[in-house]
A and B are shown apart, each in its own frame.
Chain A
Amino acid sequence: MILPPDEKLTQDGLAPTAAPSDGRVLLIACGALAREILDLKDANGWEHMALTCLPAILHARPEKIVPAVRAAVDKHRGDYARIYVVYADCGTGGLLEAACAEMGVEMVKGPHCYAFFEGNDRFAERAGDEVTAFYLTDFLVRQFDAFVWRPLGLDRYPQLRDTYFAHYEKLVYQAQTDDPALTDLARAHADRLGLAFERRVTGYGDLAVTLSDWAARR
């Protein structure tokens, strides 16, 4: 399928990629993961899995994630054999986990996508040494202005940069794909924020493991 542009995934999300049918599973995901999930789906031939995404910009408003996920599960649960939620905690402070448990749906383990892309265990091991790291994924590198620059008001008030980032030391670009242009863009973002730059290849990390597990449960 043709993926909508990132701007649309940010603001609107993605309608279900396949109509309900017998045994079809629905993944309700953050729009920031659409590309990666569809890539895994195509590569592994998970035809029985449909994907729908909530607007990725909810990343910046975690208090809106739980109601949005609840609404999506309620809307689709009668139509699909099973539903999985492709969010980690994502700043909901445990509320998404509680809501998923209550609704009887599984979600991705971990605190956020930075952790599961890198691998939750590995991320946790590094956490103590990386307190001053600011993470970007492929999607966030492409959507940097929408998720970082503009919401922080840096387009209007560049003098606030150091108020936000004074305690950060480096920008870690967690690369899901090998794209030199994206790496250059990530490096430019690091420069704009006045941070050192590190590129770290993560691939899809625990996202691939989790989806494989779900896909296998026919």
Chain B
Amino acid sequence: MADEEDEIVLSELDDEELVQQMYDDLYDGLKEEIEESVHILLDRGWEPYKILTEALVGGMTIVGKDFRDGILFVPEVLLAANAMKGGMFILKPLLAETGAPTIGRMVIGTVKGDIHDIGQNLVTMMMEGAGFEVMNIGINNPVENYVEAVKEFDADILGMSALLTTTMPYMKVVIDAMKEQGIRDDYIILVGGAPLNEEFGKAIGADAYCRDAAVAVDTAKDFMARKHNQMAAGT
């Protein structure tokens, strides 16, 4: 942190310096500073999508990498995500207005019997940062919630999360119900959560298991690219 006498005045930084400072502020989880910087860039005429991708996503990418490499831990990532949330709160309505490109649409929620939402909130944040539109349906979701949400939101992707060994089997209940309703193949299904693993994801019929939020983003992008290629090829 800077000393008081050389405190950084965000509005006095040029664009490049300000974006760099936003990377640092995201890393340090400084929500108010991020909000102020977003306003400054908007005032300078930056497009909301440019702020999102170049400043916020750029910063969160560093956070994601350092988390994966064991340099940052969950508490720090949560603070960074909270700071990003502050920026996103300002940008979200503007992004909708300006018709920013959307890579895909995702519904995400924690399964029935499980109240843990830290992981899925991080995924939501990272996915939004990567250009997805996300409907987060929160915790303790029965089958009906997922099915209603994916239809209502016209989702491409369904994400399910569970922290408990006892609740993760419910993901299969959801997938089986979607099969019965003949809608399983309409969605890319991604699953994640601490006790899950690759084998479990395959066994329950998910398209992929994602071990963390960064992997979820990469996997979702990959599946959406394949989907677009298939559509382009007319298959």
Contacts and interface: CB of A to CB of B under 8 A. Distances in A.
Interface of A: 62, 89-95, 111-112, 115, 124, 127-128, 131-132, 152-154, 156-157, 160, 163-164, 167-168
A93 B140 contact: no
25 contacts: A62-B194, A62-B195, A91-B165, A91-B194, A91-B195, A92-B165, A93-B197, A95-B199, A111-B165, A111-B166, A124-B166, A128-B113, A131-B114, A153-B75, A153-B78, A154-B75, A156-B75, A157-B79, A160-B78, A160-B79, A163-B78, A163-B118, A164-B118, A167-B115, A168-B115
Nearest to A95: B197
B166 A92 contact: no
Mostly, the A contact residues are: loop
A139 to B, nearest CB: 19
Given A62-B194, A152-B75, A94 B166 contact: no
A218 to B, nearest CB: 33
Interface size class of chain B, counting residues whose CB lies under 8 Å from the partner chain:
20 to 34
Given A131-B114, A160-B78, A163-B78, 15 more contacts: A62-B194, A62-B195, A89-B165, A91-B195, A93-B195, A94-B200, A111-B165, A132-B115, A153-B73, A153-B74, A153-B78, A157-B75, A160-B75, A160-B79, A163-B82
- Residue of B82, B115, B116 ringed by the most chain A CB atoms within 10 A: B115
A158 B197 CA distance: 31
B164 interface: yes
Contacts of A95: 197, 199
Contacts, number: 58
Contacts of B168: 93
A152 B197 CA distance: 23
Contacts of A153: 73-76, 78
Mostly, the B contact residues are: loop
B25 interface: no
B117 A167 contact: yes
A85 B118 CA distance: 31
A22 B117 CA distance: 51
- Residue of B82, B139, B165, B166 ringed by the most chain A CB atoms within 10 A: B165
A95 B118 CA distance: 23
B57 interface: no
A124 B164 CA distance: 13
A95 B194 CA distance: 12
B184 to A, nearest CB: 22
A112 B76 CA distance: 28
Contacts of A163: 78, 82, 118
